[in-house]
Structure 1
Amino acid sequence: MSDPVLSLDNAALTLQGNAGPVQILDAITLDVHRGETLGLVGPSGSGKSSLLMLMGGLERATDGQVTALGHDLSNMSEDALARLRRDHFGVVFQSFHLIPTMTALENVATPLELAGKRDAQSRAQEELEAVGLGARMHHYPSQLSGGEQQRVALARAAAPRPDIVLADEPTGNLDSRTGAGIIELLFGLRDRHGATLVMVTHAPDLADRCDRVIALSDGRIATGQAEDAVCA
């Protein structure tokens, strides 16, 4: 088996709360391999979203090690982390995080332009067409439905041709029919670009489509899954 694109070795995350330090994640050991789809499930507050943030370098582990694409995230500067995310990650949140004063096309093209991609406009157009928004690319977020806004967010995540896509409850704000369409697009992104896909979800049908599912409980991988987490 190839080297993992994401690897966590006894990773932990402790944050300071009003009453003192709070242990969010503890002793997480997990490998994710290229092209894999991994679902993260568990009750609210179990640490799923925090684990996703560690994987993307959006939070730094307070103990242990997190490695992405061969880079030790704990030893990288903020600028280096930002470049790594820009060039190799796509991130999709439950809230769409679109810039309201930009059209769909501009929302997708702008990160590419900031990365110096000469084909930013054509690539953005291609990705919007791939998610079925070819006729809506010049509309602003306020002119789009929730499902359409999430499709713009998916196009934005796909446009850099990322090695890794991190999705945090990508269907959480959508009705079941619209959410089903987003699920198809997410897995289509994996198929089109060969991206590794890691997603947080409460939806059993979405988890069932993943190659592997890891359950979290109280900030730890649930009992009985630790060996699978590193050997799958």
Structure 2
Amino acid sequence: MAETLIELTDVRLTLGRGAARTEILRGVDFQLKEGEAVAILGASGSGKSSLMAVIAGLERASGGQARVLGEDVGSLDEDALARLRGRSIGVVLQAFHLLPTMTALENVMVPMELAGAPDASSRAHAELATVGLARREHHYPAQLSGGEQQRVAIARATAPGPRLLLADEPTGNLDARTGGGIIDLLFERATVTGAGLVVITHDPAVADRASRVVRIADGRIAA
């Protein structure tokens, strides 16, 4: 039986205080099994990115329970959350978030070194070669195209061998042709590494690539 990687039960998220208090997530139930690729589809403001933030431990749920890779993320302190992400969760965002003063190789290698991963350099070399950037690994982000920068971001996410990959609008800053290649690569790397994959998107064409689609609207699972 496939292991459950994500289990959300009646998850709620409320931000702000007083008159500015806003209910973002309104009782979300969601599961992801090992080997699954799930797309969370919704319009801007529907709560899909906030849902991913709760899964990644970047936001703490205001209510309900969020279990990720067997851990109750709501009960972990910041150090434990950072270790969980560094060891077992790869994150790819719309903004590439590469460090401008580091080469592509260093952007992939340094997070692994900080997490205490063995052979960080060789693993970074191998992953950049896998995403087609073996000849660009000593280039800085400003010397790379948008598609190349997102490939570096994918390599950074997958090099540690995570059990879970989270991608939030990974093609949002790319043209359609480049974005299509990035989606191909993301699903391919998830399949090859065996990681569970959650892709946050507003694009039905991206959602069609997933094995299951969850639609979110107004902070609730709609379908």
Question: Which TM-score band applies after superposition, normalised by the shorter structure?
Answer: over 0.9
How many positions carry a matched residue from both structures?
Answer: 223
Aligned partners of 1:117, 1:42: CA distance in 2, in Å? 36
CA shift in 2, pair 1:42/1:139, >3 Å: same
Q: Give unpaired runs (5+ residues) of structure 2.
A: none
After superposition, where does 1:47-86 map in structure 2 within 5 Å?
47-86=47-86
Choose 113-122 or 123-132, whichever is displaced more.
113-122
Query: Could you tell me which amino acid in structure 2 is paired with residue 137 of structure 1?
Result: E
- 1:17: how far off? 5.5
- Give the ranges of 4+ consecutive aligned residues of structure 1 lying more than 6 Å apart after TM superposition: none
Cα RMSD (Å): 1.0
- 1:136: how far off? 0.3
CA contact (8 A) 2:67 2:73 kept: yes
- 1:203: how far off? 1.9
Residues 42-97 of structure 1 show CA distances to partners (whole Å, capped at 9, x for unaligned) of 11100000001111111110000000111011111111111001100000000000
Instruction: Tell me the TM-score normalised to structure 2 length.
Output: 0.98
Aligned partners of 1:100, 1:62: CA distance in 2, in Å? 35
CA contact (8 A) 2:131 2:185 kept: yes
Query: Could you tell me which amino acid in structure 2 is paired with residue 126 of structure 1?
Result: A
- 1:20: how far off? 2.6
Partner of 1:186: 186
Does residue 15 in structure 1 map to residue 15 in structure 2?
Answer: yes
Identity rate, percent: 57
Aligned partners of 2:117, 2:86: CA distance in 1, in Å? 12
Residues 145-196 of structure 1 show CA distances to partners (whole Å, capped at 9, x for unaligned) of 0000000000000111000000000011101111111011101111211000
Aligned partners of 1:178, 1:166: CA distance in 2, in Å? 19
Query: Could you tell me which amino acid in structure 1 is paired with residue 168 of structure 2?
Result: D
Name the SS of the counterpart of 2:61 in structure 1: coil
- 1:18: how far off? 7.4
After superposition, where does 1:1-232 map in structure 2 within 5 Å?
1-16=1-16, 19-222=19-222, 225=223
